[in-house]
């Protein structure tokens, strides 16, 4: 599950999941649901493989979302499926989506950057919780 929260001129994404892998996937889904108004219409015809190494979990989380935003901005890709595996400071993911098509996709919010402000990734009882603020 993911939800959004207001933060001055920015927006926060809050994600909860039963596992760390699912948490990273849910946060990515939250990011792309901000970017694309009709995310359900995104076909999974293109696959990208992502590998990121990080010492700290919050850095790994930041780098994951920043890489997805980079792929969106630089390659004009939008993703709707996220298979993520996080083990010992290494994230390996397969993401699926397609190139942006103005005749089929409706862009929603222009996210400029992922920020470290208020960033957290933690276990909350039996659930993982992450919060990140994105710069609009």
Q: What's the whole-number mean pLDDT along residues 106-118?
A: 94
Q: Which superfamily, per CATH, for 2-135?
A: Archease domain (3.55.10.10)
Task: Indicate the pLDDT class of residue 124, thresholds 50, 70 and 90.
Answer: confident
HEC profile for 37-79? CCHHHCCCCEEEEEEEECCCHHHHHHHHHHHHHHHHHHHCEEE
Q: What's the whole-number mean pLDDT along residues 3-20?
A: 83
Mean pLDDT score of the chain: 94
Task: Indicate the pLDDT class of residue 119, thresholds 50, 70 and 90.
Answer: very high
Domain ranges of the chain: 2-135
**CA–CA–CA angle 47, 53, 55 (5° rounding):** 150
Task: Indicate the pLDDT class of residue 75, thresholds 50, 70 and 90.
Answer: very high
Q: What is the pTM of this model?
A: 0.93
Backbone angles phi, psi at 37, to 5 degrees: -70, -35
């Amino acid at each position: 599950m993911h939800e959004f929260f207001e933060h001055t001129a920015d927006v926060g994404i809050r994600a909860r999941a039963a596992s760390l892998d699912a948490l990273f996937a849910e946060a990515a889904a939250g990011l792309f649901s901000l970017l694309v108004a009709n995310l359900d219409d995104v076909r999974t015809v293109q696959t990208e493989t992502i590998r990121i190494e990080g010492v700290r979990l919050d850095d790994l989380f930041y780098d994951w979302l920043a890489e997805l935003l980079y792929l969106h901005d630089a390659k004009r890709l939008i993703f709707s499926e996220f298979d993520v595996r996080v083990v010992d400071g290494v994230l390996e993911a397969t993401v699926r989506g397609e190139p942006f098509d103005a005749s089929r996709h409706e862009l929603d919010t222009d996210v400029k950057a992922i920020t470290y402000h208020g960033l957290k990734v933690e276990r909350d009882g039996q659930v993982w919780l992450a919060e990140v603020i994105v710069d609009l």
